[in-house]
Amino acid sequence: MLKQSSLALMVLVALSGCSSTTTAPLINPPKQVISIQTLDVDKMVAGVTCTLANDQGQWTVTTPGTIEVTTSEQDLVVTCTNQDANSGTAKAVSSPAPSVFVHPTAAVVAPVGAVSIIEEQLRGIIQAYPSTVQVMLNQDIIVTASQ
């Protein structure tokens, strides 16, 4: 009987650790590196200043360039303006990261894992943006992960 209760206690302690994944990202929000490029018609334009923004913050980069942003369930708006005052906007659509389908919590305890995944998606924890965003000057576009 003592072995069974010890085993039950160990299982409960192990399972209680699963729920901690929902608090850790609040301390260290998930980040993603994104490449930003600017184009005018069909040619690359360098030296354009771009501002990236979502509900988690705002970042600035000069194209072509890469920048680390905090991911969110909200789309990332990229606004670029060159020295000639030409501007363009791209909305990088936030979508579930591929890891949502192999979430370790879901594999261990399905009901707890399912709730955890939904909570993380609602908070943007396992969201991702396209890895490269091309902004067309003098246009407003939407960029999805498949583009």
37-46, 52-61, 94-103, 115-124: least confidently modelled range: 115-124
Domain chopping of the chain, boundaries = 2-143
Confidence of residue 11 (pLDDT cuts 50, 70, 90): very low
One-character DSSP codes across the chain: -HHHHHHHHHHHHHHHHHGGGGTHHHHS--EEEEEEEEEETTEEE-S-EEEEEETTEEEEEESSEEEEEE--SSPEEEEEE-TTS-EEEEEE--EE-GGGGG-HHHHH-HHHHHHHHHHHHHHTTTEE--SEEEEETT-EEEE-TT-
Q: What is the pLDDT of residues 58-78, one digit of tens each?
A: 999 999 999 999 999 999 999
Q: What is the pLDDT of residues 29-57, one digit of tens each?
A: 799 999 999 999 889 999 999 999 999 99
Res 96: pLDDT: 87
pTM of the predicted model, to two decimals? 0.66
